[in-house]
């Protein structure tokens, strides 16, 4: 490919004459020097940890001769240096060009917000696929299309990976992509050149504020709001207290959904139901010219908000209403309020809630269903802010009858130290608690102590199939452990009954 085709739309200056740049062909783009070889362009990014300009010489040694730079670096005479104002923005533009601007040929739906991104993107894909629109997903749980999957390092991949994935999906017949748009992804210009058709805002609360992330809450909000300058049609949760701020920044057409405030799509007459393998919610959806009933096999108010976002998308894309409602009825997301039908006398749920806000949401939601005790098994990640431990402990000790404090990705920290931090929240609380640092033992304990009508939540790990211990991802499946423990328990009870 010609270098100039890749640079289309990127402003740059160079130390080389135009004819030399014009005649240069390139094989590929790399933003990590270790991937560089002859024929590549190396994009030097000033990172959060290191300055990519440090690795320019390494890329040169590997045979690369074309460089995108913000600062000058001394190199051999044969190097072509293209100077840009911002390497990340240049990488985004170049990646889109290199892969043939695939997002322009796809319908791209971006979902942003503090909570609900993974759930909404996956619901959209399930519903659209069932309606016959081949839809792929990109987000925290990975990349999925046509039954294939790929792991992602970031919720919103780096621009080069993103456009590569779009290209592959497009070549394999995908028509629509439902993707999570993190504030970090927007801050790092990963989605700058994505042609979004629809943007969705779920909600906003303080998160990702700190070193290497957002300096302030306002910055976090502005990053989220930027999505609504990159899309044609914005779908906004009007009940969120920051909806107005998001709309204020938007340049796209806006449509709203909600439960409390006036909205283009409003849920009413909410009813909850509890089955062995699901916690369901039924509600009426009212628009200015229609009213219909919807059912989802997921509990609580936040699930209704997620469903309203999906219904808004389907209406915008003119999906048949019957098809949409049928698909929504069965839509499930791994590790998001996932009911494990392992015990026939108690409800066991796996959920990804790992901060105060989401744990409070799920626990308060579950309390709305008939239950005996509300039991929560949780921990908090090692080596990170102690504030999260306090938030989680405060919420769980307030909302639950019993908590099992355990390990959750302890990494290099002793899980007991994390547990002891969390336990401080239980001083003076009516909620009982036990400490079981090994998460597998904790799950077995939870299954053993379950009584008729109990509601038990394993919070924090959600879809994760590992436990992070001393820098290593050790395979770990909550589902498998719970299944085995329940089967063993049932077997021992059967033996006891038979021996009577």
Ligand X SMILES: Nc1ncnc2c1ncn2[C@@H]1O[C@H](COP(=O)(O)OP(=O)(O)OP(=O)(O)O)[C@@H](O)[C@H]1O
Ligand Y SMILES: CC(=O)N[C@H]1[C@@H](OP(=O)(O)OP(=O)(O)OC[C@H]2O[C@@H](n3ccc(=O)[nH]c3=O)[C@H](O)[C@@H]2O)O[C@H](CO)[C@@H](O)[C@@H]1O[C@H](C)C(=O)N[C@@H](C)C(=O)N[C@H](CCC(=O)O)C(=O)O
- In degrees and rounded to multiples of 5, residue 322 shows phi and psi of -60, -45
Span near ligand Y by CB under 6 A; candidates 184-192, 194-202, 352-360, 430-438: 184-192
Shortest Å distance, C-beta 362 to ligand Y = 19
The answer to whether 156 is a known ligand-binding residue is yes
Per the structure block, which two tokens stand in for 93? 């533009």
Minimum CB distance to ligand X smaller for 359 or for 404 = 359
Residue 202 touches which of ligand X, ligand Y, none (Cβ within 5-8 Å per kind): ligand X
Minimum CB distance to ligand X smaller for 24 or for 464 = 464
Residue 156 touches which of ligand X, ligand Y, none (Cβ within 5-8 Å per kind): ligand Y
Residue pointed to by tokens 């100077």: 83
Strands of the 402-405 sheet, one edge to the other: 338-340, 347-351, 455-459, 374-378, 402-405, 432-435
Q: Does 415 bind ligand Y (CB under 6 A)?
A: no
CA 139 to chain centre: 5
Span near ligand Y by CB under 6 A; candidates 50-58, 359-367, 411-419, 474-482: 50-58
Residue pointed to by tokens 């300058």: 229
Distance, CA of 205 to CA of 407 (rounded, Å): 26
Minimum CB distance to ligand X smaller for 65 or for 461 = 461
Q: Does 212 bind ligand Y (CB under 6 A)?
A: yes
Shortest Å distance, C-beta 302 to ligand X = 4
Burial tier of 217 (Cβ tally within 10 Å: 0-12, 13-18, 19+): middle
Helix axes 117-130, 321-330, angle to 10 degrees: 130
Residue 24: how many other CB atoms lie within 10 Å:
18
Contact letters for ligand X, residues 160-189 (x by CB under 6 A): --------------------x---------
- In degrees and rounded to multiples of 5, residue 310 shows phi and psi of -65, -40
Residue 196: how many other CB atoms lie within 10 Å:
24
Q: Which of 92, 358, 409, 425 binds ligand X (CB under 6 A)?
A: 358
Distance, CA of 44 to CA of 495 (rounded, Å): 66
* Residue 243 three-state SS: helix
**How many residues sit close enough to ligand Y to count as binding (CB under 6 A)?**
24
Residue pointed to by tokens 């990963």: 190
Minimum CB distance to ligand Y smaller for 220 or for 378 = 220
Shortest Å distance, C-beta 191 to ligand X = 15
Residue burial 322-360, b: 16+ Cβ < 10 Å; e: rest: eebbebbeebbbebbbbbbebbeebbbbbbbbbbbebbb
Per the structure block, which two tokens stand in for 270? 């909410």
Q: Does 64 bind ligand Y (CB under 6 A)?
A: no
The answer to whether 115 is a known ligand-binding residue is yes
Q: Which of 254, 353, 376, 450 binds ligand X (CB under 6 A)?
A: 353
The answer to whether 24 is a known ligand-binding residue is no
Question: Do 313 and 233 contact (CB within 8 A), yes or no?
Answer: no
The answer to whether 117 is a known ligand-binding residue is yes
Contact letters for ligand Y, residues 1-40 (x by CB under 6 A): ------------------------------xxxx------
Strand 455-459 with 466-469, pairing? unpaired
Q: Which of 93, 95, 125, 156 binds ligand Y (CB under 6 A)?
A: 156
Residue 188 touches which of ligand X, ligand Y, none (Cβ within 5-8 Å per kind): ligand Y
Question: Could you list the residues that contact ligand X (CB under 6 A)?
Answer: 115-119, 140, 180, 202-203, 302, 305-306, 336-337, 351-353, 358, 361-362, 462
Binding site for ATP, by residue number, is 113-119
**Residues binding ligand Y (CB under 6 A):** 31-34, 45, 47-50, 52, 55, 153-156, 158, 182-185, 188, 208, 212-213
Q: Which segments are annotated as binding site?
A: 33, 113-119, 154-156, 182, 190
């Amino acid at each position: 490919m010609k270098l100039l085709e890749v640079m289309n739309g990127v402003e740059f200056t160079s130390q080389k004459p135009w004819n030399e740049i014009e005649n240069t062909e390139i094989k590929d783009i790399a933003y990590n020097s270790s991937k560089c070889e002859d024929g590549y362009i190396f994009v030097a990014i000033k990172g959060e940890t290191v300055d990519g300009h440090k690795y320019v010489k390494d890329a040169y040694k590997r045979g690369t001769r074309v460089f995108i730079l913000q600062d000058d670096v001394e190199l051999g005479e044969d190097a072509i240096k293209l100077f840009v104002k911002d390497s990340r923005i240049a990488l985004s533009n170049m990646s889109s060009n290199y892969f043939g601007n695939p997002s322009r040929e796809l319908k791209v739906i971006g979902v942003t917000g503090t909570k609900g991104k993974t759930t909404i993107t996956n619901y959209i894909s399930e519903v659209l696929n069932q309606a016959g629109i081949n839809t792929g997903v990109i987000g925290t749980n990975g990349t999925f299309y046509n039954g294939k999957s790929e792991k992602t390092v970031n919720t919103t991949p780096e621009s080069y990976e993103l456009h590569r994935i779009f290209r592959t999906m497009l070549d394999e017949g995908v028509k629509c992509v439902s993707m999570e748009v993190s504030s970090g992804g927007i801050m790092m210009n990963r989605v700058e050149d994505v042609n979004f058709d629809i943007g969705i805002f779920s909600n906003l609360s303080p998160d990702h504020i700190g070193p290497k992330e957002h300096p302030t809450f306002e910055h976090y909000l502005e990053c989220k709001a930027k999505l609504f300058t990159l899309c044609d049609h914005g779908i906004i949760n009007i009940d969120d207290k920051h909806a107005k701020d998001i709309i204020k920044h938007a340049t796209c057409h806006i449509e709203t959904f909600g439960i409390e405030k006036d909205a283009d799509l409003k849920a009413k007459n909410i009813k909850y139901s509890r089955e062995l393998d699901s916690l369901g919610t039924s509600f009426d959806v009212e628009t200015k010219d229609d009213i219909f009933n919807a059912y989802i096999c997921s509990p609580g108010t936040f699930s209704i908000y997620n469903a309203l976002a999906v219904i808004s998308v389907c209406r915008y894309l003119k999906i048949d209403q019957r098809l949409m409602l049928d698909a929504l009825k069965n839509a499930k997301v791994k590790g998001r309020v996932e009911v494990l039908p392992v015990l026939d006398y108690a409800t066991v749920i796996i959920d990804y809630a790992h901060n105060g806000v989401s744990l409070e949401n799920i626990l308060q939601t579950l309390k709305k269903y008939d239950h005996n005790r509300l039991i929560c098994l949780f921990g908090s990640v090692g080596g990170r802010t102690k504030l999260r431990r306090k938030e989680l402990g405060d919420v769980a000790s307030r909302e639950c009858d019993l908590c099992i404090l355990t390990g959750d990705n302890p990494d290099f920290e002793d899980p007991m130290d994390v547990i002891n931090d969390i336990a401080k929240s239980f001083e003076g609380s009516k909620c009982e608690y036990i400490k079981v640092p090994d998460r597998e033992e904790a799950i077995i304990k939870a299954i053993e102590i379950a009584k008729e009508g109990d509601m038990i939540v394993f919070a924090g790990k959600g879809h994760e199939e590992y436990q992070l211990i001393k820098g290593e991802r050790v395979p770990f499946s909550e589902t498998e452990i719970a299944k085995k423990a329940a089967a063993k328990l049932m077997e021992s009870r059967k033996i006891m009954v038979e021996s009577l």
